[in-house]
Amino acid sequence: MKSQALLLRPARLEDGVSAHRLIALCPPLDPNSVYCNLLQCSYFASTSVAAELDGELVGFVSGYRVPEREDTLFIWQVAVGEAARGQRLASTMLRHLLEREVCQQVRFIETTITADNRASWALFEALARELSAELEHSVWLDRDKHFAGEHDSESLLRIGPFRLSR
């Protein structure tokens, strides 16, 4: 991955299909509908990150500020294409997002992760260390109670509080 050719930017509506395709290539991420990805790339564009390498989408972070808690950024998904793996792109995209003006008041990050998604656990544990912030987690969406046995339980991770030096 050539860092000088890497472009990190807010998502655009035109990224929806590319984001959908990228996510499909990144198991165990849940493949949402193209419509969902189009919404992420439009209504949540300012809190989502598109990573382009030579014009190709190689990374995507979708997130939003929780309406009832404006100091909390919920990270929906983090996807990194195979060609860009091992370069700390996921971490770079998250830091890029936190440095945006729209996240100036953010003091907490939340996300959900299944127990077996080791890459995501490692990413968010490292982010908590980097931010010198506590990481708490507990089962939030239960396999049987919320998913009718059709999806593994999801733990809610909460990182914070933290303050970024800008």
Average pLDDT, the chain: 94
Residue spans of the domains in the chain: they are 3-159
Whole-structure pTM value: 0.92
pLDDT at 4: 56
Q: Which of the listed CATH numbers 1.10.8.420, 2.40.400.10, 3.40.630.30, 3.50.50.60 matches domain 3-159?
A: 3.40.630.30
Q: Average pLDDT in the 29-44 region?
A: 95
Q: Average pLDDT in the 134-152 region?
A: 91
The DSSP-derived string for 47-69 is G-EEEEETTEEEEEEEEEEETTE
Hey, which residues does 49 pair with through a beta bridge? 10, 61
